[in-house]
Each structure stands twice: as C-alpha cells, then as structure tokens.
Amino acid sequence: MKAIDERPVGIADNPRPGRFKKHHMEDFAGRSYTTICAILLIVIILSIVYFVASKGLATFFRDGVSFSEFLFGSKWDPDGNHGEPQFGVMPFIFGSFATSILAAVIASPLSICASLFMTEIVPGWGKKLLQPVIELLAGIPSVVYGFVGLTVIVPALRDMFPGQGIGIAAGSIVLSVMILPTITSIGTDALSSLPRGLKESSYALGATRWQTIYRVILPTVLPSILTGVVLGMARAFGEALAVQMVIGNAPHIPRSLFESASTLTSVITLDMGNTVMGTPHSNALWSMALALMFMTFIFVVIVRLLERRNRI
C-alpha cells in the first residue's frame, strides 16, 4: 500500500528535455498534412475546370463555330460527311433535358410516397423494409441498369408502342430507377427531422392523416424534396453509360419518345474514342463536356438556393 503512494515524482515536474517541443512538431505536421489535402481538392477542381474549358472553348475560338450555331443548331455532322461540317448539339441538349426531366417526373412521386411510407404511414417496419431496398438500388452499378434496360425495358416498349423500343422513354425509365434513391433518402431525412408538434397539432384539429400530410407536412418539407429532385436530375443529366445503352444514339431530335435519340453524355461516350485530339470533332465533344460542367454548376446553385430557403 505504501509503495503506491510513493510513486515516482510527477511527470509535470519532470519535463524530459528531448521531448520538450514534440507536441508542437506533431501539431505542425498534422495541420500541414490536412491543409495540403484540402488544398489539393481546390487544385483538382480548378484544373478540371481549366482543362475542360480550354479544350471546350477551342470549338468557338479556334474552329470558328459560333456559339448560337453550336447551341441551337440541329444538324450534327462534325466530320462533314454530308458537305460542310455541322456542329449543332441542340438534339443532344434536348435529349439530356428530356430524359432527366422525365426521369424526375417518374421518380419524384414514387420517391415521395416511399418517404411518406417510411416516416408517416408505417414508421416502424416501413423503414426496415424500404431503407435497405433504397440502399441496394443506389448500389447497383449503372452498367447493370443499362444492361437490364436493354434486355427488359427496350423489348417491352417495343411490344407495347410503335418503334424500336429504344429512345427517350427507355432512357427516362432507366434513369428514374437510378435517381429514386437520391430523392427518397433526402425526402426521408427531411420528413423525419420534422418537429413532432407540427403533426400533432394538425391531428388535434381533427385532420385526417392525408390532410395533415398534404396541408402541413408536404409544404414544410417542399424545399428539401425539391433539393432531392434537383440532385436526382443532376445525376440523371450526367449519367452516361446506362442512357447510352438504351437511347439509340441517333443524332437528331426524335419525333416521339420511342424513337432513337441522343444525349450529351451518350455522344461523348460513343465518339470520344473515335476522334483524334485537337480535331474540330474532338473539340466539339469537349465543348459538350463543358456544357455538362456548366449544367453541374447550375444544379449546385439551385440546390444552394433551395437549402438557403430551407434554413429560414
């Protein structure tokens, strides 16, 4: 017992000279390391923007294609197989918007229902059932979605509607399943962070569950759900392979949803391997990548605005 009380002199009284500033070195090294990693992120994004922009702008400044001809032209013939080369990417922009908007239109109601199911209808087992389902849907690789779209959805559409089955409809359906998890998980988070009192006061007034959901809950979480929808659309807009596999890849604006079409990503995917760097064709593909990047910024800005509104 006594031996314990006679423990060695306290450490604080006995600073070891050699180790005196060890903790400063440590802190300096740690701070430097983490700061460098953070700066690297900025360097990466700046160089992506710089390189994509410098290549993408060459179309306009070196190859002499005008901005409006590029954006609004509807003829795509970059190698001049039918006379003068034409660089109109309107059909692809149209395809990208059409598929991603349609995908959001299909996915949003489903996602909102799934979120409500997990939080309002059967909060207990509803969540246990749907949560893993949503996570698995999010985990399935996009090429697998493309493969299933090609072997199931395209033939089904071919049987039901006129045309080959490929096209914007097939692309939208595939994309809608892919973006379901994004919208659902953001919606579920928003719904489950609602204050209890909100619902209870509505129920206390004798409102039914649906009235409560419709009049009180949905208006409150609307900005969050819209955030989810925009993020979903952003994902759909940038998705390449799954869409490319089912959309048909014809370079024109289709007359129906069941006719072959193209998106910005599908054209880049298909053409990039077959062009020589520096040619007008290749540069035009980079301009399309620049457009994709620009759209990403727009989506991020919209999300930011929605989040700001949500905070108030």
Partner 1 sequence: MKAKAADKIATTIIVVFSLLIVAVLLGLLGFIMYRGLSHISWHFLTSVPQTIREGGGIGPQLFNSLFLLVLTLIITIPLGLGAGIYMAEYAKPGKITGAIRLVVEVLSSFPSIVVGLFGLLLIVNTFGFGFSLFSGALVLTIFNLPLMVRITEQAFRSVPKEQKEAGLALGLSKWKIITSVLFPVALPSIVTGTVLAAGRVFGEAAALLFTAGMSTPRLDFTNWNPLSPTSPINPFRPAETLAVHIWKINSEGIAPDAAEIAAGASAVLVILVLVFNLFARWFGNLLYKIMTASKRMG
Partner 2 sequence: MQQTSTTFRTENLSVFYGTYEAVKNISLNFPDKSVTALIGPSGCGKSTFLRSLNRMNDEISQAVIKGKIWIGGEDINDPSTDVIQLRQKIGMVWQKPNPFYKSIYENIAFGPKYHGVKNKKELDQIVESSLRKAALWDEVKDRLKQSALSLSGGQQQRLCIARALSVNPGILLLDEPASALDPVSTSKVEELIVELKKELSIVIVTHNMQQAARISDYTAYFYLGTLMEHNDTEIIFTNPANAMTQEYISGRFG
Which residues bind to partner 2, rule: CB under 8 A?
A: 4-5, 7-13, 15-16, 19, 23-24
Tell the smallest beta-carbon distance from residue 31 to partner 2 (Å).
13
Instruction: Tell me the two tokens of residue 244.
Output: 């490319």
Q: How far is CA 215 from the centre of its chain?
A: 30
Instruction: From the list partner 1, partner 2, none, pick the one residue 5 interacts with, judged by a Cβ distance below 5 to 8 Å according to partner type.
Output: partner 2
Residue ranges of E strands in 213-309: none
d(CA 246, CA 164) in angstroms, rounded, equals 10
Tell the smallest beta-carbon distance from residue 311 to partner 2 (Å).
21
Tell me whether residue 6 or residue 159 sits nearer to partner 2 (CB atom): 6
111, 112, 116, 119 alpha-carbon torsion, rounded to 10°:
70
**According to the binding rule CB under 8 A, does residue 55 interact with partner 1?**
yes
User: Of 67, 74, 80, 151, which one interacts with partner 1 (CB under 8 A)?
Assistant: 151
Instruction: Tell me the two tokens of residue 230.
Output: 């925009």
**According to the binding rule CB under 8 A, does residue 235 interact with partner 1?**
yes
Q: Helices (H), strands (E): how many in the chain? A: 15, 2
Tell me whether residue 8 or residue 139 sits nearer to partner 2 (CB atom): 8
Is 245:269 a contact under the CB 8 Å cutoff?
A: no
Tell the smallest beta-carbon distance from residue 12 to partner 2 (Å).
5
d(CA 93, CA 217) in angstroms, rounded, equals 36
Tell me whether residue 18 or residue 83 sits nearer to partner 2 (CB atom): 18
Q: Return the range that interacts with partner 1 (CB under 8 A); candidates 1-9, 51-59, 86-94, 218-226.
A: 51-59
Residue corresponding to tokens 């314990």: 4
Tell me whether residue 23 or residue 255 sits nearer to partner 2 (CB atom): 23
Tell the smallest beta-carbon distance from residue 144 to partner 1 (Å).
5
Instruction: Tell me the two tokens of residue 177.
Output: 């399943």
Instruction: From the list partner 1, partner 2, none, pick the one residue 137 interacts with, judged by a Cβ distance below 5 to 8 Å according to partner type.
Output: partner 1
128, 181, 185, 200 alpha-carbon torsion, rounded to 10°:
-70
Q: Return the range that interacts with partner 1 (CB under 8 A); candidates 2-10, 86-94, 194-202, 263-271.
A: 263-271
Is 175:241 a contact under the CB 8 Å cutoff?
A: no
Q: Return the range that interacts with partner 1 (CB under 8 A); candidates 60-68, 80-88, 162-170, 291-299.
A: 291-299
